[in-house]
């Protein structure tokens, strides 16, 4: 028996070529019976096909990273080339947002329903002395009860000094439903630790040496870095339970009338710590101590209970109440001659939640809203979307999102052993108010496109400021006292001619207001020309091609390792350089193999590629990986 194949009769419904039944298995299960879903119950089938979308997702984040600019080493942060003003939060978020790209939130955790045990191994090489491995296993112990366990680990030394990354994401999920479908439960435990060495990028004096392409500096370990002997770590654990009981559970082929009470409980404990053996006074300014050890914690407990009513005529309606208890801060206060920096932001408050969803033939209306009943932690959002299916191929939708919430916690309170990085703005900063209008069109035959127009009031950002004549610069939180208007248009179209295809994705964006607080490139483009075919008597599927990535030059956000945040700067323009990747992908049974020559043009199109000021992008490298599915 060969466990690398799906069971007999297995076929991915998205792959019209994979129609043969695997040998050696009984006619027990097909691939469309392997399901995964999240807390929003967005269900999808397990997909083992090889498409160009799988190439885009085969990275550290395991999702399409269009609009993100990776740093030199895998596992470091990403510089966002775009901005999304849509918001579904009523409370501030934990800081260190630059380290959260690989931090799994509750909606990132999947739940499963599988007829037979399923294992997936994802492997990819890293940069110098390391690799990435994501191992996953799911099994239904009964038809009603599923259990899954997974761990994604990474270690990569990197090509620059003090650039080591070491991360781990451990998660357990389970879901249960009674035979009469009255009681359902979904639960997960996630424990994560994301450690990075921090070097602050190459020094200003070495930038010319990098861009010149001098052979003496091709070995990137010879560069002098801004920071030495520094590390930061983001660590968190979360316990989550969502369960419901149907008070009325009448359902047949002609009528649906269901009333359920739903309860959700979540507790998350996380911290971010930056420590350094010797202060970098020339980079961050003066310090209180001879060693830097900054640590901030957040305890976040949330629970909500609501009624959910489903009826053929009325649709799906829910309304409930939520409770939040937060404890954010540090272990001691900081006292200056003219200011006291407190150590904690604490609060507990209740709020209201509501949602509505109705489908009538080809029309779908869905909306949800939330409101905090608190004077200190005021916050709310409302989101509504109307969708219309014009044909089997064309679907259009439009929506609006209006939200208001306090800035993230590290804008409101921050403490550090560096004297310039201490502030308290809880009583000074106003809520960030956003309004977004969006429109989407989806069509495989025509194109896919999204459009959104956003207005942001009290936009909050980190700003680069010079504090003395010696060139010491620090990052300070700021609130813009005027409105920021921002427009974004994204279009995607794949053109196929025989066994060749050209997949194009382009984004246009513009900040309409006359401000320099939100900087984005005008154009972002990704174009992939590739060839796809089945070879060796259709035993192997082969894909090979070239991907072109480009974004226009602009005042690119800088990265502050102490805060683990990106900041706005208006002195250094970066971008305008091409990135070319050559790839060969293959699929043999349920194994997908990926071989890529990343940025192979780096040596002949100019050494002007940066992920952020002082942070060069990665050089030409060849990387290998695979995804291996086992269906037992």
Residue 12: its pLDDT value, please? 38
Least confident of 234-248, 310-324, 468-482, 566-580: 468-482
Q: Is residue 19 part of a domain?
A: no
> Which residue range forms the structural domain that includes residue 330?
31-631
Please determine, for residue 74, whether its predicted confidence score (pLDDT) is greater than 80: yes
Q: Is residue 11 part of a domain?
A: no
The candidate with the shortest Cα–Cα distance to 225, out of 197, 244, 185, 184, is 197
DSSP for 474-521, written as a single string? EEEEEE-SS-EEEEEEEEEEEEEETTEEEEEEEEEEEE-SS-SSS---
Residue 223: its pLDDT value, please? 92
Please determine, for residue 627, whether its predicted confidence score (pLDDT) is greater than 80: yes
Residue 44: its pLDDT value, please? 78
The candidate with the shortest Cα–Cα distance to 395, out of 428, 436, 336, 439, is 439
How far apart, in whole angstroms, are the C-alpha atoms of residue 204 and residue 555?
17
Paired tokens of 400: 């609006």
Please determine, for residue 10, whether its predicted confidence score (pLDDT) is greater than 50: no
Q: Is residue 506 part of a domain?
A: yes
DSSP for 306-342, written as a single string? EEEEEETTTEEEEEEEEEEEEEEE-SS-EE-SS-EE-
pLDDT band at residue 354 under the 50/70/90 scheme: very high
Q: Is residue 4 part of a domain?
A: no
Please determine, for residue 17, whether its predicted confidence score (pLDDT) is greater than 80: no
Higher-pLDDT residue of 396, 589: 396
pLDDT in tens, 430-447: 999 999 999 999 999 999
pLDDT band at residue 255 under the 50/70/90 scheme: low
How many CB atoms are closer than 10 A to CB 476? 15
Residue 249: its pLDDT value, please? 84
pLDDT band at residue 32 under the 50/70/90 scheme: confident
Please determine, for residue 41, whether its predicted confidence score (pLDDT) is greater than 80: no
Q: What is the mean pLDDT of residues 206-213?
A: 91
pLDDT band at residue 419 under the 50/70/90 scheme: very high
Q: What is the mean pLDDT of residues 322-340?
A: 94
Q: What is the mean pLDDT of residues 119-133?
A: 94
Q: 329 pairs with which residues across the strands? A: 297, 344
Please determine, for residue 422, whether its predicted confidence score (pLDDT) is greater than 80: yes
How far apart, in whole angstroms, are the C-alpha atoms of residue 403 and residue 401?
7
Burial of 296 (0-12, 13-18, 19+ CB in 10 A): buried
pLDDT band at residue 1 under the 50/70/90 scheme: very low
Please determine, for residue 604, whether its predicted confidence score (pLDDT) is greater than 60: yes
Q: Is residue 344 part of a domain?
A: yes
Q: Cα dihedral angle (528, 533, 539, 540), rounded to 10 degrees?
A: -20
Please determine, for residue 20, whether its predicted confidence score (pLDDT) is greater than 50: no
Pairing of strands 565-567, 540-551: unpaired
DSSP strands (E only) in 512-557: 523-535, 540-551, 554-555
Residue 18: its pLDDT value, please? 38
Q: Is residue 210 part of a domain?
A: yes
pLDDT band at residue 3 under the 50/70/90 scheme: very low
The candidate with the shortest Cα–Cα distance to 399, out of 459, 457, 450, is 450
- Residue 98, domain CATH: 2.40.170.20
Residue whose pair of structure tokens reads 């196929």 in the numeric block: 496
pLDDT band at residue 338 under the 50/70/90 scheme: confident
Q: Is residue 432 part of a domain?
A: yes
How far apart, in whole angstroms, are the C-alpha atoms of residue 329 and residue 331?
7
Residue 14: its pLDDT value, please? 40
How far apart, in whole angstroms, are the C-alpha atoms of residue 611 and residue 272?
23
Residue 55: its pLDDT value, please? 96
Residue 601: its pLDDT value, please? 95
Q: Is residue 17 part of a domain?
A: no
Q: 505 pairs with which residues across the strands? A: 492, 526
CA 226 to chain centre: 28
Please determine, for residue 470, whether its predicted confidence score (pLDDT) is greater than 70: no
Please determine, for residue 13, whether its predicted confidence score (pLDDT) is greater than 60: no
Please determine, for residue 165, whether its predicted confidence score (pLDDT) is greater than 70: yes
Residue 9: its pLDDT value, please? 35
Residue 6: its pLDDT value, please? 37
Residue 62: its pLDDT value, please? 93
Residue 4: its pLDDT value, please? 35
Please determine, for residue 512, whether its predicted confidence score (pLDDT) is greater than 80: yes
Average pLDDT over the chain reads: 91
Furthest-apart CA pair in the chain: how many Å?
Answer: 80
pLDDT band at residue 28 under the 50/70/90 scheme: low
pLDDT band at residue 509 under the 50/70/90 scheme: very high
How many CB atoms are closer than 10 A to CB 537? 6
pLDDT band at residue 472 under the 50/70/90 scheme: confident
How far apart, in whole angstroms, are the C-alpha atoms of residue 295 and residue 234?
10
If one counts the domains in the chain, the total is 1
Residue 269 vs residues 240, 279, 296, 332, 343: alpha-carbon distances, Å: 12, 28, 11, 19, 17
Residue 11: its pLDDT value, please? 35
Residue 467: its pLDDT value, please? 66
């Amino acid at each position: 028996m060969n466990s690398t194949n799906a069971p007999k009769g297995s076929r991915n419904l998205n792959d019209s070529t994979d129609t043969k039944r695997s040998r050696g298995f009984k006619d027990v299960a097909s691939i469309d019976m392997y399901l995964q879903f999240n807390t929003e119950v967005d269900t999808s089938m397990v997909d083992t096909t090889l498409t160009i979308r799988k190439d885009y997702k085969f990275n550290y984040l395991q999702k399409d990273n269009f609009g993100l600019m990776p740093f030199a080493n895998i596992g470091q942060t990403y510089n966002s080339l775009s901005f999304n003003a849509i918001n579904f939060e009523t409370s501030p978020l934990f800081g260190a947002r630059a380290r959260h790209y690989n931090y799994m939130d509750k909606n990132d955790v999947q739940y499963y329903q599988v007829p037979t045990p399923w294992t997936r191994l994802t492997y990819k090489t890293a940069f110098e002395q390391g690799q990435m491995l994501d191992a996953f296993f799911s099994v239904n112990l009964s038809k009603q009860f599923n259990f899954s366990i997974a761990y994604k680990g990474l270690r990569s030394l990197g090509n620059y000094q003090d650039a080591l990354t070491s991360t781990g994401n451990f998660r357990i999920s389970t879901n249960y439903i009674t035979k009469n479908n009255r009681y359902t439960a979904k639960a997960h435990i996630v424990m994560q630790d994301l450690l990075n060495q921090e070097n602050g990028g190459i020094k200003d004096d070495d930038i010319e040496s990098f861009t010149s392409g001098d052979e003496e500096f091709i070995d990137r370990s010879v560069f002098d870095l801004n920071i030495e002997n520094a590390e930061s770590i983001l660590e968190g654990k979360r316990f989550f339970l969502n369960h419901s009981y149907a008070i009325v559970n009448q359902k047949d082929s002609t009528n649906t009338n269901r009333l359920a009470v739903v309860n959700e409980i979540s507790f998350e404990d996380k911290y971010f710590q930056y420590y350094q053996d010797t202060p970098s006074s020339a980079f961050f300014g003066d310090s209180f101590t001879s060693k830097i050890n900054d640590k901030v914690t957040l305890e976040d407990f949330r629970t909500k209970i609501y009624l959910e009513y489903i009826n053929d005529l009325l649709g799906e309606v829910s309304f409930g109440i939520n409770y939040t208890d937060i404890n954010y801060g540090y272990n001691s206060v900081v006292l200056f001659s003219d200011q006291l920096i407190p150590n904690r932001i604490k609060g507990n408050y209740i709020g209201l939640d509501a949602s509505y969803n109705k489908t009538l033939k080809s029309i779908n209306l869905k909306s949800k809203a939330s409101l905090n009943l608190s004077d200190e932690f005021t916050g709310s959002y409302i989101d509504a979307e109307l969708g219309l299916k014009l044909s089997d191929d064309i679907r259009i939708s439009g929506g609006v999102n209006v939200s208001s919430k306090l800035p993230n916690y590290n804008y409101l309170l921050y403490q550090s052993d560096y004297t310039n990085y201490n502030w308290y703005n809880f009583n000074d900063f106003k809520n960030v108010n956003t309004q977004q209008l969006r429109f989407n069109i989806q069509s495989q035959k025509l194109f896919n496109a999204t459009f959104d127009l956003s207005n942001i009031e009290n936009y909050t950002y980190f700003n680069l400021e010079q504090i003395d004549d010696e060139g010491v610069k620090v990052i300070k939180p700021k609130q813009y006292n005027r409105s920021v208007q921002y427009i974004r248009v994204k279009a995607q179209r794949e053109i196929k001619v025989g066994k060749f295809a050209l997949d194009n994705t382009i984004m246009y964006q513009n900040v309409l207001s006359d401000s320099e607080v939100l900087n984005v490139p005008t154009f972002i483009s990704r174009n992939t020309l590739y060839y796809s075919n089945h070879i060796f008597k259709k035993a192997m599927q082969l894909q090979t091609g070239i991907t072109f990535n480009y974004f226009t030059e602009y005042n690119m956000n800088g990265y502050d390792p102490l805060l683990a945040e990106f900041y706005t700067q208006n002195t250094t323009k970066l971008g305008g350089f091409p990135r070319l990747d050559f790839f060969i992908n293959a699929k043999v049974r349920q194994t997908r193999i990926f071989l890529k020559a990343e940025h192979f043009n780096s040596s002949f199109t100019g050494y002007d590629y940066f992920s952020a000021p002082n942070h060069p992008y990665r050089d030409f490298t060849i990387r290998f990986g695979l995804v291996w599915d086992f269906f037992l």
